[in-house]
Amino acid sequence: MAIPQAPLSKDHRFHIDPDKCTGCLLCSLACSFIKTSAFGLSHSLVHIQRDLVRGSHERFRISFDDGCDGCGLCARYCNFDAIRGPQHGGSG
C-alpha cells in the first residue's frame, strides 16, 4: 500500500519516489547550503523523515516546506532518483 506523501513543492514540478530514498540527506544538506550558506538540516526546505519500517526495508517520507522555490538543487544532488525534476541531470 502506498504511503501518502505531502505536497511536492508549490508548483508540483518534482516527481518523488520514496521507495528509492535511502535517507542519505544530501538533498537537505544541499538545500540548506544554497539557502543559508551553511549546512544544517533545520534550515532545509526539503525534509526526509523515517517512515514505517516493513521487514528489513526502511522507508522515508519526503516533504517540502511552503518556502520551497523549486530551484531543483535537491533533485540534482539526489543520486538515487528519489527526487527528480526539470533540472535533473543539468538539462534545464
Q: Which residues form the interface with ligand SF4 (CB under 6 A)? A: 9, 21-27, 31, 34, 45-46, 48, 60, 62, 64, 68-74, 77-78, 80, 82-83
- Which lies closer to ligand SF4 via its Cβ, residue 39 or residue 77? 77
Tell me the closest approach of the beta carbon of residue 56 to ligand SF4, in angstroms. 18
Query: Taking the alpha carbons of 76, 63, 15, 60 in that order, is the dihedral positive or negative?
Result: positive
Cβ at position 31, least distance to ligand SF4 in Å: 3
CA 10 to the chain's CA centroid: 14
Enter the C-alpha cell of residue 58. 526502511
Question: What radius of gyration, in Å, describes the C-alpha atoms of the chain?
Answer: 13
